[in-house]
Amino acid sequence: MDDFVRNKLAEWGLSEWVEKFKDEQIDAESLRVLDDREIDNLIPKAGPRVKFKKNLKLLKEEENSNRETVNSVQCEQEHEEAADVVQVLPSTSDTGKRKSDLQSDASRLQSPAKRQCQSMPGFEESIILSDVKSIMTFVHARLNDQDKLSAFLKKKISDLETDKRELVGVFGKTGAGKSSLINAIIKEKNLLPSGSINACTSVMIKLEANTRSTKYEAEIEFITKEEWKDELWSFCQFLDNNEDQDKKDDDYRDAVEKLTALYGEEWKEKSSENLMENKYFKEIPEFLQSRRKILRCESANELSAKCVKYTRSDSKQGEGNEGKKWFWPLVKCVTVRVPNKSLLQHVTLVDLPGNGDCNKSRDQMWKGIVGDCSTVWIVTDINRAASEKAPWEILESVSSLIGNGGECQQIHFICTKSDLLDDSDDFSRAHIHDGIVMRNLQAKDGVRKEFNMRSKINKHFTDDSFKVFTVSSKEFLKGKHLSPEETEIPKLQGFLQDLNDCHSEIVNYVSGAYGILALIQGANSGGVDDKKGEVCSELERHMILQLANINKEMEETITAFEKCLNDGVEKSKRSYGEKLKNFLYHGKKGGGFCRVLKCVVENGGVHKPKNKTLINLNMKLASCLTDSIDEEFRKTFPNDSECGAFNGVIKTFSLNTDSLIEKYKNTELQLRFLKTEEEKIKAKLNRMIREQKKKVYSSLTETIVNIMEEGYKKAAEFRGEGQLYNMRETIKNHVHSKKDMFEQAKNTMLEKLRSLRRDILEILETTMKESFELSFKTDGSSLPDVSTELDMVKKRYDELPGTPDDEVSLTGFADQVETAEAWTQTGLTRGSAV
């Protein structure tokens, strides 16, 4: 089961059937071809079954409509060019049925004329990918499920499918110019509103290309009813207990703003239970039904107007706004999809709050998105860009999440409104131009100097990964004083285009397909019987050498981490008392700090005051541990995709198939497959390591969170006189009694590293062994002839620029033998490398 099916069932109000669909392995492809009998078995209850059939029918109609729309805008061909399509189809040499089957796929293989009609970057590669996918779909259908090798090959073809999206996180306080910047970059002047409409800082907005339709769409995801009920209760309790609160207090204003947005003035006279009545949500039945709301419009203007109440709040609460509802307090995330935007085909821009949210599901989603960002944009007004606190506080607060705890490779510090110049009316256009350029250079220099002084950020990012841009959306559109290039908007567009380039994913798919077809044809043709045992022995020897090398490097890494963590534990034990004192007393007395500490203990050690720095006691307690391993961690798990984890040892893994091809000419097809398998498994491991390293890094703080939970709960129970004193003493005593938590955090992290080592070795060994054993030790006589398809895919593969060079260096191979022999004696081979 995939996310598409899960999301559709949730959208149709049929979440209770998710497990049934999962058990039956219903994916996006099989969902669309379910017949009535199969639906009856999946959903025996009449009511939900009728609802499912209705929605499935609507889905098919919508997809057919979208397909017709796409076809209608494609370039027309002349009749003689249609023959070009047929010429790229596989031959009919295998069976009499193949010709008609393959011709039915002709519409999916585009002619050269169509390719020439397209000018978007990367289009030629996308056509190659489309052609190869069509070929592999046809081959998949021809393989039977009757033997082990065919089942193995069908799974390999299915595993080829990849859809990688790059996330760019956009941070910046309200008024910094984020909306105007994004509108200018994607050339949609009126998509994201700005000006008198204030941003709602709790709503995340994703922006991506609409590849399914020519309409502008917004998919609105709400928090659950239960979550809003809990928030309501908290707001009402807070306001009832703080009637004398300063009306300018951020927490007070935040509560009042959310309640007023949704309920107007009614909330002042109602209990939290009354405010959950369905009448307040009749305009958004999707919220009550735990479904996502979909808006579809013909223009950006129309969609923007419809989205406002879900993402923004009007700052002009006057005539015309009486009784108007704003639903943003209930919204978790809005995904906006824009048609005809090749720039966003594989890139998602995400407008993010600066420090998460007090709502747990919103906060969890925020952390997940922030940790997945490959690039982060910090957007701020150019005026005092270097000295303004807000952007640097945002960057410092997320640095560990996007750095060692994430996968961010670049930080772009974007200074907006660079066209504004004091007293510009007194100068000529030439003087204004020169003044703007000079001021922008000075701003860049100031920002870079400030970055170099921020040690908290420098721990995670080098100077090379930090870039400064001075942009002007206004000048980009009007060009009064600056050329388009001088506004630096084209630079950011170029960066997104490069990021959007899915070339590596296309190469991986096409090379994988080439390898699979090589194996099918090699197994089908036979001819290696006399060399099977010899080749397998060579492959096993190479694999043992490589696994030994990887194991050695990872063991040394774990030892280095243990040494760092031991230092961190000792520093933590020496300093936690002083850290507690600075946090709990903080130089404040009275109700102000009491309310803050109350929020901290009620929220598991974390408080997210609006428009202020995040307060996190858990991170303070874990800081010596994280500081101790930051440098080693960045070296071991670099976010730079050019560098490999564990000093690149996995990146260099190889069975040396090229040298074996030279030695065993008649096994070339099988060995070609194994070579592509190497690249696929390394890509898979890199993705796994990228995800697991986030869990490894966060485990230090998470262990502290888990151990501190009991103390926070006890402290949160205090009320009335002496509340502040009792909370402070409870937290202090709990930490003193649990000071072995630093040792526990160390052990948890080391165990996660050892588990990662075991998984890497086991996946490499079992996957590669299965591949070469099935390649050489399984009868392939029942496999179809794919010689034509193999030639076609090889041609497509050769057309791709930058495909991996066939020559693989053997330097240093012999030096691994001694290490391998010692490692083999430990018994950590053939599936036991755990």
More reliable by pLDDT, 323 or 723: 723
pLDDT interval class at 508 (50, 70, 90): confident
More reliable by pLDDT, 421 or 648: 648
More reliable by pLDDT, 15 or 723: 723
Contact 314, 197 (CB under 8 A): yes
For residues 281 and 228, give the distance between their C-alpha atoms in angstroms, rounded to a whole number.
12
Identity of the residue numbered 747? N
For residues 517 and 750, give the distance between their C-alpha atoms in angstroms, rounded to a whole number.
42
Stretch 414-421: mean pLDDT, rounded? 87
**The pLDDT value given to residue 228:** 93
> Dmax over Cα atoms in the chain, in whole Å?
91
Contact 338, 216 (CB under 8 A): yes
Radius of gyration of the chain (CA): 30
**The pLDDT value given to residue 102:** 35
Half-sphere exposure of 403 (CA within 13 A, CB side): 25
Range of 186-200, 202-216, 227-241 with top mean pLDDT: 202-216
What is the DSSP track for 548-612? HHHHHHHHHHHHHHHHHHHHHHHHHHHHHHHHHHHHHHTT--SHHHHHHHHHHHHTTTEE--TTS
Stretch 211-236: mean pLDDT, rounded? 91
For residues 377 and 171, give the distance between their C-alpha atoms in angstroms, rounded to a whole number.
6
Residues paired with residue 415 on neighbouring β-strands, in sequence order: 380, 470
pLDDT tens, position by position, 809-833: 333 333 443 444 344 444 443 333 3
For residues 678 and 704, give the distance between their C-alpha atoms in angstroms, rounded to a whole number.
39
More reliable by pLDDT, 782 or 231: 231
Contact 179, 193 (CB under 8 A): yes
**The pLDDT value given to residue 704:** 97
Stretch 745-764: mean pLDDT, rounded? 96
Least confident of 103-112, 286-295, 681-690: 103-112
Helix ranges, 640-740 (H): 645-648, 657-663, 668-716, 723-737
Stretch 384-409: mean pLDDT, rounded? 91
Q: What tokens does 137 get?
A: 């779909």
Least confident of 312-326, 703-717, 783-797: 312-326
Least confident of 89-93, 427-431, 716-720: 89-93
**The pLDDT value given to residue 806:** 38
pLDDT at residue 632 is higher than 90: yes
Stretch 271-288: mean pLDDT, rounded? 92
Stretch 167-195: mean pLDDT, rounded? 87
Phi, psi of 285 (to 5 degrees): -60, -25
* ∠ Cα 695 699 704 (to 5°): 155
205 Cα distance to chain centroid: 14
Residues paired with residue 206 on neighbouring β-strands, in sequence order: 335, 350
Contact 447, 413 (CB under 8 A): yes
**The pLDDT value given to residue 468:** 96
**The pLDDT value given to residue 425:** 60
Average pLDDT, the chain: 82
Least confident of 262-271, 396-405, 547-556, 620-629: 262-271
pLDDT interval class at 196 (50, 70, 90): very low
Least confident of 60-69, 230-239, 251-260, 635-644: 60-69
CA-CA-CA-CA torsion sign (579, 581, 587, 592): positive
**The pLDDT value given to residue 526:** 62
Q: What tokens does 186 get?
A: 């994607």
Q: Quick one: which of 343, 407, 341 has its CA closest to 369?
A: 407
User: How close are the terminal C-alpha atoms of the chain, in Å?
Assistant: 29
Contact 349, 170 (CB under 8 A): yes
- pLDDT exceeding 90 applies to what percent of the chain? 42
Q: Quick one: which of 331, 333, 264, 338 has its CA closest to 303?
A: 338
**The pLDDT value given to residue 594:** 86
Contact 169, 370 (CB under 8 A): yes
**The pLDDT value given to residue 96:** 35
Q: What tokens does 430 get?
A: 């030439």
pLDDT at residue 184 is higher than 60: yes
pLDDT tens, position by position, 335-389: 999 998 888 988 999 998 876 666 677 888 889 999 999 999 999 999 888 888 8
Q: Quick one: which of 127, 206, 212, 217 has its CA closest to 165?
A: 206
- pLDDT exceeding 70 applies to what percent of the chain? 81
pLDDT tens, position by position, 284-316: 999 999 999 999 999 999 999 999 899 876 544
Identity of the residue numbered 80? E
- According to DSSP, residue 288 is labeled H
Residue carrying the six token digits 């005026």: 383
Least confident of 69-78, 467-476, 576-585: 69-78
pLDDT tens, position by position, 457-500: 999 999 999 999 999 998 898 878 889 999 999 999 999 988 88
Residue carrying the six token digits 């925020």: 366
C-alpha distances in Å from residue 769, one per residue of 323, 543, 597: 68, 9, 57
Helix ranges, 403-502 (H): 429-453, 455-458, 473-478, 484-487, 489-500
